[in-house]
Amino acid sequence: MRPDRCGHGRSAQVSEGHDMDHYADDLAALTAHLDLRDAVHVGHSTGGGEVVHYLARHGESRVAKAAIISAVPPQMVRSENNPGGLPQSVFDDLQAQLAANRSEFYLSLAAGPFYGFNRPGAQPSDAMIRNWWRQGMMGGAKAHYDGIVAFSQTDFTEDLKKITVPTLVMHGDDDQIVPYADSAPLSAKLLANGILKTYPGFPHGMPTTEASTINADLLDFVRS
């Protein structure tokens, strides 16, 4: 099951609710409606933050395990409490690019750092790039613009401390979108039952470019 985040994909293109609280609340409403039990929640990138915030905000009664992949927690933006984060100007620039030409923004991001196709010797996949662009263009511009604030500025530190279910933290050390050093190792330390799995040379979009490895490790974790 892969639910659309509010304003993304085929979900309603509403004008508000593009923040982590709404993302978590929507997920909680869906799991309650489906009456899910002993679920394993897997979230990639911003979705990893959504899983973390959902567990902390709504509890673990329906959840057996969780996995966060190339995920944004504990916090992306640089602050007094997060000196290793990225400067605010990085995210301001992302918003500016998105507002100026959303189609070009999604194309260049997928063709470059998202999948690591800008690295020497990389072999870009036109199919992957086009599919990522397609998914981006299905969503609403307002949701995507506000979503940059949600994934970059939300501080998940206290959320991570509340989680007790086994949680697999998967991250490539060549992630150009969510830098490894200020994300996965810190999240794993904050989790009561965190398991850190680092992938040398893997990019942010490793669930696609390295699907056989990531899927196998996820299945091993679920079955363990």
Residue 103 annotated among the catalytic residues of the structure: no
Phi-psi bin for 48: left (phi > 0), alpha (psi -120 to 50), beta?
alpha
Catalytic residue of the set 175, 182, 183, 187: 175
- Are the C-beta atoms of 98 and 108 separated by less than 8 Å? no
Catalytic residue of the set 22, 41, 144, 204: 204
CA dihedral of 167, 173, 179, 180, whole degrees rounded to 10: 40
Phi, psi (deg, nearest 5) at residue 23 = -60, -50
- Are the C-beta atoms of 34 and 41 separated by less than 8 Å? no
Catalytic residue of the set 8, 18, 45, 187: 45
Residue 126 annotated among the catalytic residues of the structure: no
- Distance, CA of 90 to chain centre: 17
Residue 204 annotated among the catalytic residues of the structure: yes
Give me the active site residues, please. 45, 175, 204
